Copies of this chain bind each other. A is one copy, B any other.
Amino acid sequence: MSLKDIQAQVDEWTSQFTPQYWKQHEILAQMQEELGEIGRILNRVYGPKPPKEGETINELGNELSDLLFAIACMANREGIDLDKEWEKTNEKKFKRDSKRFEKKE
């Protein structure tokens, strides 16, 4: 699955609604909600909180994917090409950030 495909699938799915995309701040609020879910899961699986009854604790992948969906919505709304942005991120990491952390011996 490519970023281009993901953006196209999201565009197809959202095209059935009106308005097609939420406002930017509304998408951000949705992202905050997804990140909150990730926090909830981490604090139960790797942290101090006991799971509540009936709560599944193994849904991290699900939430990461929902967050990816929200990223694609924001990108589509703003005309951002995630492939191009990823290329820049990747380049920056390999160049700028290659000396930021402790290297293996």
Contact = CB atoms under 8 A, between A and B. Distances in A.
A82 B2 CA distance: 11
Given A13-B93, A68-B86, A60 B80 contact: yes
A85 B34 CA distance: 15
Q: Max chain B CB contacts within 10 Å: which of A18, A33, A105?
A: A33
Interface of A: 1-4, 6, 9, 13, 16-18, 22-26, 28-40, 42-43, 46-50, 60-62, 64-69, 71, 74-75, 78, 80-90, 93-94, 98, 100-105
15 contacts: A2-B3, A9-B90, A18-B105, A22-B48, A23-B25, A30-B43, A33-B37, A36-B36, A36-B37, A61-B84, A62-B88, A64-B71, A64-B80, A67-B71, A69-B89
Give the 8 A-B residue pairs with the shortest CB-CB distance, closest first.
Answer: A36-B36, A29-B39, A25-B25, A65-B85, A32-B39, A61-B80, A61-B85, A65-B89
